[in-house]
Chain A
Amino acid sequence: MEYLKSIVPLLLPELLLVVAAGFLFLLGISTKVGARRAAPWISLLVLGGCCWLILGEPMKLSGFDAKGTFEVTSFSLYIKLLACGVGILLTLLAWPTNDDATGNPSLNFGGDAGEFFALMLLSLAGVLMVSGANDMILLFLGIELASIPTYIMVSVSRPTAVAQEAGLKYFFLGALAAALMLFGFSYLYGTTGTTSLHDIGQLLAGTQAGPAGATVPTAWQVLALIMLLLGFAFKLAAAPLHFYAGDVYQGAATPVTAFLSFVPKVTGIVAIIKIMWVYGGNGFAVPEIFAKLLFAIAVITMFAGNLLGLMQLNVKRVMAYSSVAHSGYLLVGLTALAYAGGNGSVQNAALQGVLFYIAAYGIMNVGVFAVLQMIPAREGRSTTTAETYEDLAGQGRKHIGLGLAMAVGCFSLIGLPLTVGFFGKLYLIVPAWNLASVEPELKGKMAWLIGLTMLNAAISAGYYLKIVGTMFLRPEPPLFGDSVSSLPVPARSLAPTVAVVLATVLTLGLGTLIPATQLLTTRVTDSLEIGRQPPLVAPDTASVAESR
């Protein structure tokens, strides 16, 4: 009871999400239209409540230096708030808009509205859990909790074979990734004898003999590191585990694709940051091999994403590879963080950059998917919302608001100024730049890193601008048959419109109001200066047992 009492206040948002998910599963049994209509509202309400809870928690907590299995730090609060905030946008995307509330033109959950939103909430609960996990078991459980609902969501999102196939592929390959992660965790446990991430970090900190105070892990621990990193790379859709992205993103319904490109990515990035903290001996002074791996993965991921993105004819596939490329950019920020070693200011800037970029990506990405979802498809294919360039041709002129929103989203994804994407990329690159100026021996590496990132941003403009260009410059192709004219035009439904407006306003607003963007992340990293204040930590189960 003592234990419960101490842990419940810490887990309130997670608990709220899980309880709400349970209720929604129950609600899903009902066949009433009213129940289906209520589900998204409940989901929205719960996410809003979570945001409120999270904002209510003190934001002046210290960083990772915690001893319990679960911790509430400003880092975790930031991630939680982000997940719930973008979760609200994603709920708006998945809003049922047809008459019997069984989905919207791009998404069809049939009678399973309750279950669908329950799965969304569960997956988000997983993200929240990952952000606070301080134990490898909890971390793994959190990642799986975030992932497993998504396999189902992909499968049920559309009554087509493509979606089933995508769900199955995603599940099989996800299982492979889970195996990789478990492999890594087991070796890490084997070499240290504890599952607590904090304790492992302490153990590794004892080995700080490398250059610049870096830890020196054993070969087994390096093996564990590689396995973990690759396992997380799957969640990120980073090379060499990005292959699934195209098929799965295309197969899933557009709102689910938007979900896939954000939620697992956040878990992956957060997990990598946690593992960096562990391998840096409860700091970021990671061994060089870690930095090298991140460097290689980042560069390969960027190229793979952007080159494949250029080749696609299906816009959802383009966005899939865009998502791969953006994982690469995030890893560029992490690479700078890894190379920063003991350099506090660069470290802070790099972490800030990565955290800011996740938020930026979440917002602009939702905007693009929301627009895709609101444009009807042509030629009566299995989907009823836009997927190919043909579908988009001329639509920007027809629906000028959607066209402009898409332009804003794409410009932001390229990283053009005045958008949040520009500042995101800037904050990712600046730490590397600063690092090159303080540490001359890293100059070459950082120059390559920055140069390749810029090059990739330029390549990516190839397909993003093609999307915008198609929408505005290409004439609408003539219609064949009457299949299209009878299709509902989803551009009128309210919820996705709200999502588009919110995402566009945020993309431009965060992009132009520089103080706001800085405020967003400074708080989090400022608090990483360890030991200022004790964190709110759930007591370790072991110590609780002792006290009993």
Chain B
Amino acid sequence: MQDLWIVQHSYLIPLLPLIAACIAGFFGARILKGQSHWPIWLGVGAIAVLSVALLFQTVGLLGHGAPPVRNSDSGTHAPVASATEHSDAKTVSAVYRAFTWIAAGDPKNAGTNEYFEVAAGFFFDPLTVTMLCVVCGIGFFITVFAAGYMKGESGYWRFFAYLGLFIFSMTCLVMGDNLIMLYLGWEGVGLCSYLLIGYYYEKPAAREAAKKAFLVNRIGDFGFGIGIMLAFAAFGTVSYFGADGYTPGAANGLLELAALPKMGMTEFQIQVLNWLPFLLMLGAFGKSAQFPLYVWLPDAMEGPTPVSALIHAATMVTAGVYMIARCGTLFVGNEAAMITVAFVGAFTALFAGSIALRQFDLKKVFAYSTVSQLGFMFVGVGVLAPVTGVFHLVTHAFFKALLFLSSGVVMHAMLGHLDMRKMSGLKAVMPKTRWLMLIGCLALAGVVPFAGFWSKDEIVASAWHASPLLGIVMLVTAFVTAYYTFRLYFRVFEGPKVVPDEPHPDHHGHGDDHGHDHHSHDAHHHHNHEPALMMIPLIVLAIGAVIAGLALWQGHRLGHFLGQSPSFVGAFELARDTYNAKADGAHMVNPVVFGQQEYRSESVVKAEHTSHYIFMAVSTLIALSGIGLAYSLHLKDRPKADRLALLLTGVARAMENKYWVDELYQAVIVEPLRRVGEIFFTLDKYFVDGLVWLAGFVPQLGGFVLKLTLQRGYVQGYALSMALGIAIILLVVFL
């Protein structure tokens, strides 16, 4: 893999969107204006092509054994591509190091915590390539969509500059070959998320939401930061697999060192390994919106809809899942951590799913649905089945982006309205969007053969395998998901046609400069709001939402691919060593969900297949019954749904108010902090400021005295002062 042209020139992948963002940012306001999307289209499009090419090339490398070892960097300087080839029969990986970014301490102490080195380096393996394709591929289609959606907005260029910056950060995040690069991208996407949520900054709700997202993420990132520091303190490196990349048998990088037998470790290292997963997890829970840090994501829907699709559904929020999959060896050895991940994920999935039941805003429903689906992914990685987590990540990216963008089209057409109580029967108004939305909903609900079904099913099966309780929670959540998805669909697209006639007060983009404005905004004459620029990306995503699941599931294609990642191999070996020794047979680590098919025994395969088909049948049934319930309550007999809500007033209100979690946080965390802040403010104002004033006053006084006595502008005075100074010095020295 090291030989690939794209790997050797992988600096292009973050660089192109960054350059594009700079062009859009610096020249957008004055020169490019309405054409500001071009640099981003070109930049992101180019790297999307590169990522897909890399995907095919990597797939081509699988199972081809080791290409000849090559040594190219004898004495050459940056950019230094690491020399050795690491794709043995089992893994495919490569390292590209552009330059040493940070170096502190004496290089003699390399490998201990006396020497800190971070390379601006990229690590390539099937996991990276998968993530790159999701980020760049889906990212590209969303930028295309955004050009249509954001047309005529003020600050059009700003939007695209942020988008380019986001893609840059996200590629750094998934490609980095060490935790610091991961953190760089992590914070970069956090910043872009903040900027884009607050895109409509003149709207108070958007400002608040942006702040909330930023602050809640700080809590998680605080843990993440401490985790990185501890990891360095204990193991002396932050690189995943060392400077030369992954070498089977060698242990240079953090992920390899952490997987070594505990016997050889110091007490401190063992302690760190006990805590490290929890700290990293905090970061993952913050970024990926898991309980208790999920509260920012629903509010983040204040951002423009393409942003919700790209950042808050398809890519950024999955960074936590990526991190746990990537750092598998830091997690799987710690049983408590894995249980925590799985149960937090399961709880979040059900909790957020139940909130989605009683939301009326389209984007809010999908936001809670995203939180819930992210919970699924965490269950996947938590129950020692990282392949299923990443699988769901990929399929979810397709169908959730599709759903968000479709609701964006609805919002666009409905003059900013997203309240499903105010609209109905839109299939007559927007027939194409209706079909696209239906595909997305089927995928989300998990109906055969749409993408969501395959990945969700694998997670549910793995969860059941790990603990029946988890399996049941997942099945219930699947039911809830199917129900709320089709509640939305039936409400909005089916039934009698109802269209809101007044523009929403927060409605953006349909100002005087808007392209559609020469049409009349007659309530009963909504013209075609499905322009090709917005429809084409949707159709591509819809194709993905239909076929991605089966295509990747068939013959464990994705598992086989990801299984070649050193992270997955390492995690599998560690998990096998940790759990199989004490397993009672029932809880053996399943090699398949680590992508290590060659390790499974025939008997296991058989049992697995039978149970798998049963699960498929069960989950299909559950999805269909959820849809059926939604049909009966929200299409056939809508008043019945309201009567039901009346019957269960308490529950309905709790769900509608999101279980008052925001209010709870406000009372328990925000208010006490504000009180403390007020105390500090008072102290600062009177005590510290007083000291500062005094400190400022004394030099002023000194200067005043000097000025009056010595600096009066007469040349003879100056000469006298100088002579006086000389005399004083002579006196002091010689007396």
Whether B719 pairs with A173 at a CB distance below 8 angstroms is yes
Count of chain A residues near B, Cβ 8 A = 32
Whether B730 pairs with A226 at a CB distance below 8 angstroms is yes
Determine the distance from Cα of A303 to Cα of B704 in the docked complex, in whole angstroms.
13
9-residue interface stretch from B205-213, B292-300, B506-514, B708-716: B708-716
Cβ contact of A311, chosen from B700, B722, B724, cutoff 8 A: B700
Cβ contact of B707, chosen from A239, A241, A303, A308, cutoff 8 A: A308
Q: Is B706 an interface residue (CB 8 A)?
A: yes
Mark each residue of chain A from 214 to 241: 1 if its CB lies under 8 Å from any CB of chain B, else 0: 0000010011001000100010000111
Mark each residue of chain B from 709 to 735: 1 if its CB lies under 8 Å from any CB of chain A, else 0: 011010101110110111011100110
Please, which residues of chain A bring their CB within 8 A of the CB of B700? 310-311
Determine the distance from Cα of A173 to Cα of B720 in the docked complex, in whole angstroms.
10
Whether B703 pairs with A243 at a CB distance below 8 angstroms is no
Given contacts A219-B734, A307-B703, A308-B706, contact A239 B725 (CB under 8 A): yes
Whether B706 pairs with A307 at a CB distance below 8 angstroms is yes
Cβ contact of A173, chosen from B696, B715, B733, cutoff 8 A: B715
Please, which residues of chain B bring their CB within 8 A of the CB of A311? 700, 703-704, 706-707
Whether B702 pairs with A176 at a CB distance below 8 angstroms is no
Determine the distance from Cα of A169 to Cα of B734 in the docked complex, in whole angstroms.
31
Whether B725 pairs with A462 at a CB distance below 8 angstroms is no
Whether B699 pairs with A306 at a CB distance below 8 angstroms is yes
Closest to B696 in A: A462
Cβ contact of B713, chosen from A172, A247, A293, A462, cutoff 8 A: A247
Given contacts A180-B726, A240-B724, A247-B713, contact A307 B718 (CB under 8 A): no
Given contacts A241-B725, A310-B703, contact A169 B715 (CB under 8 A): yes
Q: Is A494 an interface residue (CB 8 A)?
A: no
Given contacts A304-B706, A306-B699, A462-B699, contact A240 B728 (CB under 8 A): yes
Determine the distance from Cα of A296 to Cα of B731 in the docked complex, in whole angstroms.
14
Determine the distance from Cα of A240 to Cα of B706 in the docked complex, in whole angstroms.
12
Determine the distance from Cα of A311 to Cα of B706 in the docked complex, in whole angstroms.
10
Please, which residues of chain B bring their CB within 8 A of the CB of A226? 726, 729-730, 733
List CB contacts (< 8 Å) of A298-317 with chain B.
Answer: 303-304, 306-311
Mark each residue of chain A from 69 to 108: 1 if its CB lies under 8 Å from any CB of chain B, else 0: 0000000000000000000000000000000000000000
Q: Is A459 an interface residue (CB 8 A)?
A: yes
Residue of B702, B722, B730 with highest tally of chain A CB at under 10 A:
B722
Q: Is A168 an interface residue (CB 8 A)?
A: yes
Whether B729 pairs with A243 at a CB distance below 8 angstroms is no
Please, which residues of chain A bring their CB within 8 A of the CB of B704? 311
Whether B730 pairs with A172 at a CB distance below 8 angstroms is no
Determine the distance from Cα of A234 to Cα of B700 in the docked complex, in whole angstroms.
25
Determine the distance from Cα of A3 to Cα of B725 in the docked complex, in whole angstroms.
44
Given contacts A173-B719, A307-B702, contact A243 B711 (CB under 8 A): yes
List CB contacts (< 8 Å) of A492-518 with chain B.
Answer: none
Q: Is A40 an interface residue (CB 8 A)?
A: no
Determine the distance from Cα of A71 to Cα of B265 in the docked complex, in whole angstroms.
60
Determine the distance from Cα of A226 to Cα of B734 in the docked complex, in whole angstroms.
11
Please, which residues of chain A bring their CB within 8 A of the CB of B725? 230, 239-241
Whether B722 pairs with A176 at a CB distance below 8 angstroms is yes
Please, which residues of chain B bring their CB within 8 A of the CB of A169? 715, 718
Determine the distance from Cα of A320 to Cα of B724 in the docked complex, in whole angstroms.
22
Determine the distance from Cα of A239 to Cα of B704 in the docked complex, in whole angstroms.
17
Q: Is A244 an interface residue (CB 8 A)?
A: yes
Whether B721 pairs with A240 at a CB distance below 8 angstroms is yes
Closest to A227 in B: B726
Mark each residue of chain A from 454 to 486: 1 if its CB lies under 8 Å from any CB of chain B, else 0: 000001001000000000000000000000000
- How far in angstroms is the closest Cβ of chain A from B714? 9
- How far in angstroms is the closest Cβ of chain B from A105? 26
Please, which residues of chain B bring their CB within 8 A of the CB of A244? 718
Q: What is the predominant secondary structure among interface residues of chain A facing chain B?
A: helix
Q: Is A246 an interface residue (CB 8 A)?
A: yes
Please, which residues of chain B bring their CB within 8 A of the CB of A223? 730, 734
- How far in angstroms is the closest Cβ of chain B from A57? 26
Whether A173 pairs with B718 at a CB distance below 8 angstroms is yes
List CB contacts (< 8 Å) of B634-678 with chain A.
Answer: none
Count of chain B residues near A, Cβ 8 A = 25
Q: Is A53 an interface residue (CB 8 A)?
A: no
Determine the distance from Cα of A469 to Cα of B554 in the docked complex, in whole angstroms.
65
Closest to B713 in A: A247
Determine the distance from Cα of A307 to Cα of B704 in the docked complex, in whole angstroms.
8
Cβ contact of A308, chosen from B711, B713, B715, cutoff 8 A: B711
Determine the distance from Cα of A308 to Cα of B709 in the docked complex, in whole angstroms.
12
Please, which residues of chain B bring their CB within 8 A of the CB of A241? 722, 725
- How far in angstroms is the closest Cβ of chain B from A314? 12
- How far in angstroms is the closest Cβ of chain B from A319? 15
Determine the distance from Cα of A22 to Cα of B721 in the docked complex, in whole angstroms.
38
Determine the distance from Cα of A219 to Cα of B730 in the docked complex, in whole angstroms.
11
Please, which residues of chain B bring their CB within 8 A of the CB of A459? 699
- How far in angstroms is the closest Cβ of chain B from A17? 31
Residue of A234, A309, A310 with highest tally of chain B CB at under 10 A:
A310
Q: Is A212 an interface residue (CB 8 A)?
A: no
Please, which residues of chain A bring their CB within 8 A of the CB of B734? 219, 222-223
Given contacts A172-B715, A243-B711, A462-B699, contact A289 B733 (CB under 8 A): yes
Please, which residues of chain A bring their CB within 8 A of the CB of B711? 243, 246, 308
Closest to A169 in B: B715
Closest to B707 in A: A311
Residue of A172, A246, A308 with highest tally of chain B CB at under 10 A:
A308
Residue of B707, B721, B725, B728 with highest tally of chain A CB at under 10 A:
B725
Closest to A168 in B: B715
Given contacts A180-B726, A308-B707, contact A243 B721 (CB under 8 A): yes
List CB contacts (< 8 Å) of A84-139 with chain B.
Answer: none
Mark each residue of chain A from 243 to 273: 1 if its CB lies under 8 Å from any CB of chain B, else 0: 1101100000000000000000000000000
- How far in angstroms is the closest Cβ of chain B from A276? 17
Residue of B700, B715, B728, B730 with highest tally of chain A CB at under 10 A:
B715
Closest to B728 in A: A240
Determine the distance from Cα of A173 to Cα of B721 in the docked complex, in whole angstroms.
11
Given contacts A168-B715, A247-B713, contact A310 B699 (CB under 8 A): yes
- How far in angstroms is the closest Cβ of chain A from B326? 30
Please, which residues of chain A bring their CB within 8 A of the CB of B728? 240
Determine the distance from Cα of A58 to Cα of B719 in the docked complex, in whole angstroms.
44
Whether B718 pairs with A240 at a CB distance below 8 angstroms is no
Whether A240 pairs with B722 at a CB distance below 8 angstroms is yes
Whether B729 pairs with A240 at a CB distance below 8 angstroms is yes
- How far in angstroms is the closest Cβ of chain B from A223? 8
Please, which residues of chain A bring their CB within 8 A of the CB of B702? 303, 307
Determine the distance from Cα of A308 to Cα of B734 in the docked complex, in whole angstroms.
30
Whether B726 pairs with A307 at a CB distance below 8 angstroms is no
Mark each residue of chain A from 11 to 28: 1 if its CB lies under 8 Å from any CB of chain B, else 0: 000000000000000000
- How far in angstroms is the closest Cβ of chain A from B428? 53
Please, which residues of chain A bring their CB within 8 A of the CB of B718? 169, 173, 243-244, 247
- How far in angstroms is the closest Cβ of chain B from A4? 41
Determine the distance from Cα of A296 to Cα of B706 in the docked complex, in whole angstroms.
18
Please, which residues of chain A bring their CB within 8 A of the CB of B696? 462
Whether A230 pairs with B726 at a CB distance below 8 angstroms is yes
- How far in angstroms is the closest Cβ of chain B from A79? 27
Please, which residues of chain B bring their CB within 8 A of the CB of A219? 734
- How far in angstroms is the closest Cβ of chain A from B704? 6
Determine the distance from Cα of A303 to Cα of B701 in the docked complex, in whole angstroms.
12
Given contacts A243-B710, A308-B703, A462-B699, contact A293 B729 (CB under 8 A): yes
Give the A-binding residues of B (Cβ under 8 A): 696, 699-700, 702-704, 706-707, 710-711, 713, 715, 717-719, 721-722, 724-726, 728-730, 733-734
Question: Ordered nearest first, which 6 A-B pairs have the shortest CB separation?
Answer: A240-B725, A307-B703, A311-B703, A243-B718, A169-B715, A307-B702
A-B contacts, 5 listed (Cβ < 8 Å): A168-B715, A239-B725, A240-B728, A243-B722, A311-B704
Task: For the A-B complex with A310-B703, A462-B696 known, give 12 more contacts whose Cβ atoms are closer than 8 Å.
Answer: A169-B715, A176-B719, A222-B733, A226-B730, A226-B733, A230-B729, A240-B721, A241-B725, A243-B717, A247-B718, A306-B699, A308-B703
